[in-house]
Structure 1
Amino acid sequence: MARPQEHLSSVHNAIRILQEFSDDTPVMGISELSARLGLAKSTIYRLLQTLSETGLVDKDVHSRKYRLGIGMFVIGSVVYRSTEIRVKAFPLLVDLMTRVRRIVRLAIYDGGSVVYLCKLPEDKETRMFSSIGKRVPCHSTAVGKLLLAYQDKDEIDRVLGRSLKPVTSNTITSPGELRDQLHHIRSVGYSVTYEESTYGICSLAVPVYDESHNVIAALSVTGSKDQFLPTEVREYLNILRMYSRLISEQLGGLE
Structure 2
Amino acid sequence: MNPFIKTDEGGSSMGEQTAVRSVERALDILLCFTDKTELSLTEISQRVGLNKSTVFRLLASLERKGFLQRNAENEKYRLGFRLWELSAHLSRVDDPAVMLLPEMERLRDVLDETISLYVRDGKERVRVQAVESKQTIRRVAPIGSRLPLSVGASSKILVAYADPETQKMILNELNWSSSKDKEEFMLQLLHIQQTGYATSIEEREVGTSAIAAPIRNGAGQLVAALAISGPVGRLTMEKMKEFAPIVLNFASRMGSMVK
TM-score of the superposition, structure 1-length normalised? 0.75
Q: Deviations over 1:144-179 (max 9, x none)?
A: 232133342112211235x58xxxxxxx64444434
Residue aligning to 2:62: 51
Return 5+ residue gaps in structure 1 as ranges.
124-128, 165-171
In the TM superposition, residue 114 of structure 1 has moved relative to its aligned partner by 1.9
Structure 2 residue identity aligned to 1:184: H
| Residue in structure 1 matched with residue 25 of structure 2 by the alignment | 13
CA distance in 1, matches of 2:25, 2:62: 11
Report the aligned-residue RMSD: 3.2
Instruction: Give the whole-Å Cα distance in 1 for the aligned partners of 2:43 and 2:173.
Output: 27
SS in 1 for 2:143: coil
Query: Is contact 1:112–1:148 with CA below 8 Å preserved after alignment?
Result: no
Distance 1:27 1:109, change over 3 A: same
Deviations 1:105-137 (A, max 9, x none): 1111122222222211378xxxxx961222223
Task: Give the aligned length.
Answer: 237
Verify: 1:160 aligned to 2:175, yes or no. Answer: yes
Pair 1:133–1:82, CA change in 2 (3 A): farther
Q: Secondary structure at the match of 2:128?
A: strand
User: Residues of 1 paired with 2:93 and 2:255: CA distance?
Assistant: 17
Q: Does structure 2 retain, via aligned residues, the 8 Å contact 1:221–1:236? A: no
1:11-160 alignment, distance < 5 Å: 11-23=23-35, 27-30=38-41, 33-34=44-45, 37=48, 41-61=52-72, 64-80=75-91, 84-121=95-132, 131-149=142-160, 150=162, 151-160=166-175
Q: CA deviation at 1:101?
A: 1.9
CA contact (8 A) 1:209 1:215 kept: yes
User: Structure 2 CA distance, aligned partners of 1:200 and 1:93?
Assistant: 23
Q: Is the 8 A contact 1:113 1:137 kept in 2?
A: yes
Larger radius of gyration: 2
Which deviates the most, 228-237 or 45-54? 228-237
> Matched residue of 2:117: which SS?
strand
Q: TM-score, normalised to structure 2's length?
A: 0.74
- Taking the aligned partners of 1:44 and 1:194, their CA distance within structure 2 comes to 42
* 8 Å contact kept, 1:103–1:119: yes
Residues 29 and 206 of structure 1: is their aligned pair in 2 closer, same or farther, counting only changes over 3 Å? same
Counterpart position of 1:213: 220
Contact kept? 2:93, 2:99, Cα under 8 Å: no
What does 1:170-189 align with in structure 2 at a 5 Å threshold?
173-189=180-196
Which amino acid is 1:11 matched to? V
CA distance in 1, matches of 2:128, 2:144: 6
- Report the Cα offset of residue 85 of structure 1: 0.7
5+ residue gaps, structure 2, are 1-13, 135-139
Counterpart-to-counterpart distance in 2, 1:212 and 1:45: 49
What code does the residue aligned with 1:154 have?
Answer: M
Q: Which amino acid aligns with 2:191?
A: H
Aligned sequence identity (%)? 26
Q: State the secondary structure of the residue aligned to 1:52.
A: helix
Compared with structure 1, are the counterparts of its residues 83 and 45 closer, same or farther at alpha carbon in structure 2 (3 Å cutoff)?
farther
Output the amino acid matched with 2:207: G
In proportion to residue count, which structure has more helix? 1
